[in-house]
Structure 1
């Protein structure tokens, strides 16, 4: 049943034309964010009963006809800095469009954040509905992109600076995980998250490329005080090595002061942080590595521990915490995690290691035990 629904989704003009080429009706299709203004003849010619058109531009006579057939039509919403019906994940170039010539504040990402802050303060129900539609569309796009992939999450703090040993270690981890055949997914922001996505991006490149990239990025070590300089340094790396490896970032405009990083080749950016966090961890089916972080990373540890504790998603997924001192002394999440796991099946799926270099081996060991 789910496969049939997926097969009835149309995300592009090519898919629209192919559907009409192989059938005689649009009945039952879900057409998502496709510009159909040049397909008026087809829309007038083919039955469209029970079809749903989500954010599809079309000529007035075509819209009238498909409604008369019994289709639902959700028209595009004007004057928005984002598409609430979008069918695909974002790319870095899309979110940072214009960054080479203009400051970050003029990019689509920054404009979406400004809209979010304004409409959230207003409490407008229409705006909250648009945010929910957008986030649901992004969840669908993530499911489609990651279907069948072995996904490993890499979590960690946004304060991990470029040019530090910790940042370089997180990048090496992302590269190694990707080279082992796993798909790296992070929270999509700066710091440890960017480093892991950078490593995944460097995976198909010669080893020396990552070292050179780290040197280039170090000239803008943080997104403060200038997101513009920070982002431009990342795009300089991408320009020098344009054929990097794939990974996914899942950031949020809820923390919009933290920009998304440009090394996640596919970005699922949400308005609702709770939806984002749950989806990020639920999709990490091959396990999660937790690098040092603060409140956000602690939240992610126990967001992941809860379904492992109750086995609500099936067998528990591996959890590897990195930096013994951080997780036992500074923020003692490890003792609590151990106590939770003591009489549960997740006990054999958690590990604490001292260094980033030990993380992948620990993850592999826990996965082999599944």
Structure 2
């Protein structure tokens, strides 16, 4: 028997995974965004579109029947037992108790803590949307439904389409990327009634002061844009913000349906 090499590199690629010498030197995103020769794109990119399409189809198919859901972001480097991990676990539990599925990036740290909290509630749904990275980041054990994506933009679409709000705990570049993309979508009305909550006032305080002092102070954003963000240290308040926005959205939808029915009734037959 040939002995298995220990600690071999491993990488998930969509529905598959590869190990050892089969792990490529670049990711699908890297190859998609790389500049090719003068005509290489003619032969490669059109075919790549089919793979991108397949990822959208898979994501839509798997997530279409989710109950109302909230996406929780935060650092993969957060250690179990830390205050941020404990907060994430409490948040996941409270969201699940309030009837929401909990969606994360599926990795360790804060993502794991929120998924873990959700699984402590009977009947709750804990979701992980993973991504192919140059370094392997496995799906945490508290995910009930996990999907691995090759392309960041497909994964981001799933986060927004199947969530009724974002909650960000302390995190790094990935958390900031998702945060500011969400804020841009809300600011430009691409999504409506979509609360964005930052948990950890000490961590986020410097960023929000810069937003107020520099972005607002130099006219780069409008004063009402500050209302797009809520900062809190209270798990109950964070969940209440999500619930209130959800109720307001439902009432608005019901009002629109009533108005549409009234117009239809008033029209001559």
TM-score scaled by structure 1?
Answer: 0.52
Within the alignment, does 1:325 sit opposite 2:187 as a pair? Answer: no
For residue 191 of structure 1, report the CA deviation from its aligned partner.
Answer: 0.8
For residue 255 of structure 1, report the CA deviation from its aligned partner.
Answer: 5.2
Q: 1: CA distance between counterparts of 2:162 and 2:156?
A: 10
Aligned to 1:350: 229
Aligned to 1:29: none
1:178-215: CA deviation from partner (whole Å, max 9, x where unpaired): 222111111121111111111122211xxxxxxxxxxx
102-111 or 244-253, which deviates more: 102-111
Aligned to 1:83: none
261-270 or 298-307, which deviates more: 261-270
Which residue of the other structure, out of 74, 85, 109, is the alignment partner of 1:156?
Answer: 74
Q: 2: CA distance between counterparts of 1:302 and 1:289?
A: 12
Q: 2: CA distance between counterparts of 1:361 and 1:337?
A: 30
Aligned to 1:289: 167
Aligned to 1:52: none
Name whichever structure is richer in strand by fraction: 2
Gaps (5+ residues) in structure 1? 1-100, 205-243
For residue 269 of structure 1, report the CA deviation from its aligned partner.
Answer: 1.4
Map of 1:13-92 to 2, 5 A cutoff?
none
Which residue of the other structure, out of 131, 140, 146, is the alignment partner of 1:261?
Answer: 140
Aligned to 1:188: 106
Whether the aligned pair in 2 keeps the contact of 1:138 and 1:268 (CA below 8 Å) is no
182-191 or 113-122, which deviates more: 113-122
1:220-246: CA deviation from partner (whole Å, max 9, x where unpaired): xxxxxxxxxxxxxxxxxxxxxxxx843
Q: 1:183 to 1:334 in 2, by over 3 A?
A: farther
Q: 1: CA distance between counterparts of 2:133 and 2:70?
A: 23
Q: 2: CA distance between counterparts of 1:138 and 1:276?
A: 9
TM-score scaled by structure 2?
Answer: 0.69
Whether the aligned pair in 2 keeps the contact of 1:327 and 1:334 (CA below 8 Å) is no
Which residue of the other structure, out of 61, 81, 85, is the alignment partner of 1:144?
Answer: 61
Whether the aligned pair in 2 keeps the contact of 1:254 and 1:272 (CA below 8 Å) is no
Whether the aligned pair in 2 keeps the contact of 1:131 and 1:271 (CA below 8 Å) is no
For residue 153 of structure 1, report the CA deviation from its aligned partner.
Answer: 0.7
Q: 1:179 to 1:117 in 2, by over 3 A?
A: farther
Aligned to 1:202: 120
Instruction: Report the structure number with the largest CA radius of gyration.
Output: 1
For residue 167 of structure 1, report the CA deviation from its aligned partner.
Answer: 0.9
Whether the aligned pair in 2 keeps the contact of 1:307 and 1:316 (CA below 8 Å) is no
Report SS of the residue matched to 2:224: coil
